[in-house]
Structure 1
Amino acid sequence: MHAWQQNYDPLGDLFLSSAVALIPIVFFFLALLVMKLKGHIACTITVLLTALVATLFYKMPLSYALASAAYGFLYGLWPIAWIILAAVFLYKLSVKTGHFEIIRGSIVSVSDDQRIQVLLVAYGFGAFLEGAAGFGAPVAITTALLVGLGVPPLYAGGLCLIANAAPGAFGAMGIPVIVGGQVIGAEPIAVAYNVVPSIAVLSFVLPYVLVALVDGWRGIRETWPAISVTAIVFTVTQSGTVLLVGPELPDIVASLCTLMVLPMFLKVWRPAHSFRFPAAEKEAVIVEDTYTRGEMLRAWAPFIVLTVCVALWSVPPFKKLFIGNGPLAWTVYSFPFPLLHDAVLKMPPVTAGPTPYHAIFKLDFVSSVGTAIMIAGIISVFVLGAKVQEAGRIFVQTLKELRIPFYSIGMVLAFAFLANYSGLSATLALLFADASSAFTFLSPILGWLGVFLTGSDTSSNALFGGLQAATGHQIGVSGPLLVAANTVGGAVGKMISPQSIAVACAAIGFVGREGDLLRFTLKWSVLLVVMVGIVVTLQAYVFS
């Protein structure tokens, strides 16, 4: 099969080529924010535009363009849609059996103030799920939980997307940092150390941002002791775990400490005024002694089982069962994607020399995080005492409700893979790299763009890590520092990633209103990535 070489400057002028490369991205934002098209329609047109740019300007063979879009679409279905289906099924099972009311009561018993509930669920529990699983599960589960607590869907989705930035750099047991180190041939701990300053600022600021979004400055004035406890405990334990242990456990340790310390603090301090959204005000307040401990334990059992399963699926000894000569390696089916695997060559300066662009599709039926969540759901059917037929109906209903969101996610990934295999994303990266000493400020913005294009901080590091390090070598800045900047910028970019937006909308039945959710998160995403750029520049030139 003839190998096609990527050309990152098809028009002979990097600025003009970048302007062409931006056409699909600009259209996507305009379609959602200005034209207010439904998400699946905007994504479909964006894929078509990207295919036109790839074939007409980048001269990508049509068969390769179609193959890369198909590869991305299928990746959107497995494993991403599988994870969301399992997470939403677990949540709906809890709701339909009536046990979510008990969960709601137990959270209200800690605090009926929804500003505090956002800190507990979106920030604390979301960070735990991100540290253990990642790949959309945290946003899907915590968004659904907040909606169940009476938080309006738009706020629930937006707050969980924003909160997800704090644990994003060390998500899924530190995979983004580990891959970033591997890409540039550096020890992951070197990248992790450089992540600490900017992620510490981010993790400390975000609890204040979340409460401000819920209740403005009044909310910060009334709850600043609880916000400060959350920010300090999470930031100190996250940074300390990185420095003392490494990149695998910071999110898990920080979230567990936060989830233990904040409820203890609330036993000795409560805000003078309890805030609830207007819709939640109409609901009956559940008192602390309404349910027995046994009832509360049973209601929480699905999420306890979920936590155990996700943690088990994330530990290295369990993962080794599915790779190489592991006893369960036969459950993983991988194959080179037709018409695409090694058919595209990545070229300098993105790589040191012509490098085949792999395209291996993996069906990890057992080792997928989605399977861990689904097993938790199946166990929960019996723990909650649901009839098997009822659980089957809930599953089928969930699948029907998620058809359009799954299509949207598939098209988002089709766009991302097409942009990467055509070289479109690399064109934009090279424009950033052309900024000389200002690149330290732009470096996290490149990671931000990478996650917008790929939906994954890990993928962003794999895509742009080498370019970050090479540019750092040219301007005399540490490669691990710039890969760290790419990682933290990517964590901030997840809140505007089309994939993340689609996941949140799928979890709360917000189909067709993706633009509203993007409008909610966009301003904060831009402000936070600028803040990260300032911190990275200070790291490079002031505190190096």
Structure 2
Amino acid sequence: MYVQNFNPFSNMFQSALLAFLPILYFFFVLIVFKIKGHLAAISTTIVAILLSAWIYHMPVILSIMSAVHGALYGLFPIGWIVVGAVFLYNISVKTGQFEIIKKSIISITDDRRLQVLLIAFSFGAFLEGAAGFGTPVAITSAMLIGMGFKAKKAACMSLLANTAPVAFGGLGIPVLVAAQVTGFSGAYLAKLLAFICPIIGFIVPFYLIAVMTGLKGIKEVWPAVLVTSLSFSIPMCLTSYFLGPILPDITASLCSMIALVLFLKIWQPKNIYRFDNEKVAPQITLSKKAVIKAWSPFIILIIFIADWGMASVDSILNMFNISFAIPYLNGAIINGTTNAPIAAIFKLNWLSAAGTGIVIAAFMSCVILRVSFKQSINILTQTFSELKLALLTISGVLAYAYVANNSGMTTTMGLLVAKTGSWFPLFAPIVGWLGVFVTGSDTSANALFGKLQTTAFSAVGILPVMGIGANLAGGAVGKMISPQSIAIVAGTTGLTGKEGEIYKFSIKHSIVLLTMICLIIYFYKDVFVSLLAGENGAAVAQAAGSDIISSTGIVILAASFIVIFLAKKILNGPEEIHHYKLQ
């Protein structure tokens, strides 16, 4: 048995300095020595195991099995999502349909700045709200590369855009987990976030364009940016406040996509921004049928992501789960805060995982695009081959995260920030930021630090719920520097081994956005007393949803497959009887 000790030196500053050492090492070897991401991740895990044994006196077998648990989680479900996303994209490319997608977007606008708003920000926010866990940066970065963006720019723009929707990602999972660990209801937390997250949602489109083309670029396209920002932030605010945490990203992203497309029908910038030496795209006329068919893989993706996010469907798919305890680790670590044993169960929800939904969507796309089963398996095999180093990097990163969490290192770092006393509200978002950096997930950061944040806010005489708001908001902008996110986007864009270059871009912009959130939380710390203090935080079970009859899930899944096979008949004329010759 190992009891977590968050202050092994009896000096919080010294303890935290050692806890930060693996993170500093990871940055150093990536940026200074420029070693490949998978080697950096694996060696960082080894450093963490040595520190956990030497400084935290954690039994080596528990450290090693923690790393094994994290590596398994890195492969599934995280790595599985990346495989599914890239598989679907590869199908679109190899059948030639992505060329039509590019032309359809260019027919809306061939301004590269506005393409980033449409794809990286609005469409990416939809993917974050529906699936999360790396799906947005994997798919949008691949799409931008297909549009002609250089790999590094595609990766960086996708990471930066994927900040505003993170708190409500995966149909509100981060908020619902925060509700479970703090005792507040999800609806109560969503009311607070309605006044925080939309501010970031309003700022990020302007920030994206400023990073891409400077203030001059904003001046040239500010009407479109303003339409995007308003049509995203206002629906997010209203949905979060009145409907709770599940749908804010979905409504905000759909509203911003529709509003921007309609606006660009009547307005275009005078100066079209293109890349250096880029040829002017000729005017293109595409039939609606051709455009719908080309977009069908991503339309199907939306359908299946929505299905997989429904409680009724989830209840059906989870009937086939496989779970097993991690040997030597399960129940062998005592939580240093609650004094309860920590479970270490690996859940192989192979059917209900988001990655499985994406893979099935890819195979269903093959039905519409008339790609044979043999061809589709070949594409999937090639996808695995492309991503082998990226998957190794993701596993290495998660292995470190689990060692840091189980040993107590992550909590040590959070406790240091909590020592700032009355200034804590100003620094509280940093705790969430660090949590997401280490774990790669706003959900995990809330599970880890949610109670710490509310307790610390209460101790300094501030409404406790502000603590979880700070954790969620700070964690959202930590997503773009998470080694997990960097590994995913590097694997998708073919930059595996060059993660350090992406970090150089991401870290400075993450800190800028984090500073904004710190100031917002500090300004808000006394504002919501009258608005939210009367809430009692009960009904967590209600926030998580009520039991739904399983038959509803069967009907929804059946309807989705029927729609796809009907679409096949509509989108493929009788003359199209051959399979595509893959590119």
Residue 335 (1) aligns with residue 331 (2): no
CA contact 1:181–1:480 (8 Å) conserved in 2: no
Conserved in 2, the CA contact under 8 Å of 1:152 and 1:277? no
**2 CA distance for matches of 1:427 and 1:421?**
11
Contact preservation (8 Å) 2:235, 2:251 = yes
Q: CA contact under 8 A between 2:322 and 2:348: conserved in structure 1?
A: yes
Q: Distance in 2 between matches of 1:345 and 1:230?
A: 48
Q: Is the 8 A contact 1:109 1:286 kept in 2?
A: no
Contact kept in structure 2, 1:105 and 1:287, CA below 8 Å: no
Taking the aligned partners of 2:45 and 2:221, their CA distance within structure 1 comes to 45
Match of 1:304 among 299, 321, 325: 299
* Residue 375 (structure 1) aligned with residue 360 (structure 2): yes
Match of 1:122 among 111, 120, 123: 120
1:486 alignment counterpart: 471
Structure 2 portions without partners, runs of 5+: 530-583
TM norm structure 1 = 0.95
Deviation at 1:542, TM superposition (A): 5.2
Give distance in 1, aligned partners of 2:188 and 2:525.
Answer: 14
Show the counterpart of 2:185.
187
2:46 corresponds in structure 1 to 48
Aligned position for 2:58: 60
CA contact (8 A) 1:89 1:377 kept: yes
Task: Please list every run of 5 or more consecutive structure 1 residues that lacks an aligned counterpart in the other structure.
Answer: 324-328
Per-residue displacement from partner, 1:201-230 (whole Å, max 9, x unpaired)? 211110011111221112101000000000
Shift of 1:287: 2.7
For residue 356 of structure 1, give the secondary structure of its aligned residue in structure 2: coil
1:531 aligns with 2:516: yes
Residue among 337, 341, 344 paired with 2:333: 344
C-alpha offsets along residues 151-177 of structure 1, whole Å, 9 cap, x if unaligned? Answer: 111111111111111100000111111
CA deviation profile, 1:433-460 (whole Å, cap 9, x unmatched): 1111111011111000000110000000
Q: Which residue number in structure 1 is paired with residue 403 of structure 2?
A: 418
Q: 1: distance between equivalents of 2:463 and 2:284?
A: 54
1:468 — aligned with what?
Answer: 453
Aligned to 2:81: 83
The answer for the alignment partner of 1:208 in structure 2 is: 206
Tell whether 2:371 aligns with 1:386: yes
Distance 1:275 1:337 in 2: 53
Q: CA deviation at 1:288?
A: 3.2
1:189 and 1:33 mapped to 2: Cα distance? 42
Once the two structures are superposed, the pairs formed by residues 65-144 of structure 1 within 5 Å of their partners are 65-144=63-142
1:440-451 matches, within 5 Å, as 440-451=425-436
Matches of 1:244 and 1:399, distance apart in 2: 43
- Is 1:197–1:535's contact at 8 Å kept on the other side of the alignment? no
Match among 217, 220, 227 for residue 219 of structure 1: 217
Counterpart pick for 1:402 among 387, 402, 409: 387
Take 1:173 and 1:542, find their aligned partners in 2: how far apart are those partners?
28
Q: Indicate conservation of the 8 Å contact 2:187/2:243, yes or no.
A: no
Spell out, residue by residue over 1:76-132, the C-alpha distance to the aligned partner (whole angstroms, 9 max, x if none): 000011110011011011101111000000111111101000000001000001001
TM-score, normalised via structure 2 length:
0.89
In the alignment of these two chains, the number of paired residues is: 529
1:543/1:249 Cα in 2 relative to 1: closer, same or farther (>3 Å)? closer
> Structure 2: which amino acid aligns with 1:342?
G
Amino acid at match of 1:229: V
Match of 2:347 in 1: 362
Residues 480 and 322 (structure 1), Cα distance of their counterparts in 2 relative to 1, 3 Å cut: farther
SS at match of 1:106: helix
Q: Which residue of 1 aligns with 2:535?
A: none
Indicate the RMSD between aligned Cα atoms, in angstroms.
1.2
Q: State how far apart, in whole Å, the 1-side matches of 2:23 and 2:134 are.
A: 22
SS of residue paired to 1:541: coil
Once residues 514 and 225 of structure 2 are traced to their aligned partners in structure 1, the CA distance between those partners, rounded to angstroms, is: 22
* 1:287 aligned residue: 283
Question: Partners in 1 of 2:193 and 2:467 — Cα distance?
Answer: 9
Q: Which amino acid aligns with 1:370?
A: G
> 1:90 and 1:452 mapped to 2: Cα distance?
28
CA distance in 2, matches of 1:401, 1:534: 42
Question: How far apart, CA to CA, are the structure 1 residues paired with 2:158 and 2:90?
Answer: 18
> Which residue is equivalent to 1:268?
266
